[in-house]
Amino acid sequence: MKKRKLKKKLIIFLFILLILGIGGVTIYFTKDLFWPDNKPTQTGTEKTAAEILEEQGIKLVNKETFVKEANTLLDKGYSSEEINQIYEHMSENNLKEILKSPYQNLENYFTISNFEFAKLDRYNAYQALLNISYQDAVTKVNLNLDEPFYQTVNEISNPNEVTVLVNKSHALPSDFIPDDLVAIPSFPNYQIKDDAVSDFEALLAAAKLENVNFSPYSTYRSYDKQNKLYNNYLKRDPVDVVDSYSARPGHSEHQTGLALDVRSAGYLDDLSDSDYEWMLNNSYKYGFIVRYPKGHSETTGYQEEPWHLRYIGIEHATKVHELGITYDEYYDLYLTEH
């Protein structure tokens, strides 16, 4: 009798277990039907981190690594406002550098488009030395004007481009010869790049209509020719004087086939004042600029050269003319990635 009771209890117990088991399994497999938003906690944590940033006045940026980066910047000591400015203005290159480096005060540089974080100390030093604007300091340091000329020299990688920048810190390879040199139809003894020929003929024709008569007397020059020229000048003048009027080999625009020295009728190697005036006001319409104009020696590193024209195409020549800046500055401001 006792045994039977026990057996009955056991059966009831097992039966309850079975019901609970079936119930549990059913609930487990149908839970998404009843609680469809039952998501894991991972996203919830991320959302909170972003919300914390937002509460501190940081504008969220739609970028996978933003929360991590913003927190890194906060840890370095950047304020919410500084972080907003960094994301609004700074290039991806600069952001990478900023994330790798200790805190720096960047308030004077946020809106300067050609700013490069790696040069910050040089900008600050040059700005303080010359008491110039921060924008000027950035452009001039980018052109290495805070160093002696020829101290930093980068080899040019795009020598056949019409916009190529050649100056005392950008050198052409010694074996570079333009790939499309052609004779100028009106002056068949002189060669320039094919890109510049028709616009040069148009410049000549437009000038002639206004009684401005000039002709080229030096156009494409090879590296070897420039080398001989420069070394001949050294026999006559000290190096710093020669450097003020002649390019060292590899640093001459004449090697690109895009530069022409022109002279007025009756002149040996110069433009008359009136012809120069016409050139300053009109050559850009045909894609040419006076590359070394008056008052810009400190930037170009050369004395004024009224006779030296450089082809950069109509669009860029027009902008350089409108801005009234040297091509060196223009190239850094508008044609260089920072």
How many angstroms separate the CA atoms of 184 and 195, rounded? Answer: 11
The SS3 call for residue 220 is: coil
Which residue number, 142 or 252, has a Cβ lying nearer to Zn ion?
252
# chain residues binding Zn ion, by CB under 5 A: 2
Which residue number, 199 or 253, has a Cβ lying nearer to Zn ion?
253
CB of 83 to Zn ion, least distance (A): 49
Stretch that binds Zn ion, among 99-107, 183-191, 239-247, 258-266 (CB under 5 A): 258-266
Among 296, 308, 316, 321, interactor with Zn ion by CB under 5 A: 308
How many angstroms separate the CA atoms of 285 and 246, rounded? Answer: 27
CB of 292 to Zn ion, least distance (A): 8
Q: Residues, the chain, total?
A: 338
Pinpoint the alpha helices (H) of the chain: 2-34, 42-55, 66-76, 80-89, 92-100, 120-130, 134-142, 194-209, 223-236, 239-245, 273-282, 297-300, 314-323, 327-334
CB of 61 to Zn ion, least distance (A): 48
Stretch that binds Zn ion, among 173-181, 191-199, 238-246, 303-311 (CB under 5 A): 303-311
Which residue number, 94 or 300, has a Cβ lying nearer to Zn ion?
300
The SS3 call for residue 192 is: strand
8 A C-beta contact, residue 327 and residue 312: yes
Q: Tell me which amino acid residue 65 is.
A: T
Among 146, 243, 261, 329, interactor with Zn ion by CB under 5 A: 261
Stretch that binds Zn ion, among 25-33, 138-146, 173-181, 302-310 (CB under 5 A): 302-310
CB of 166 to Zn ion, least distance (A): 11
Q: Tell me which amino acid residue 220 is.
A: Y
What residues make contact with Zn ion under the rule CB under 5 A?
261, 308
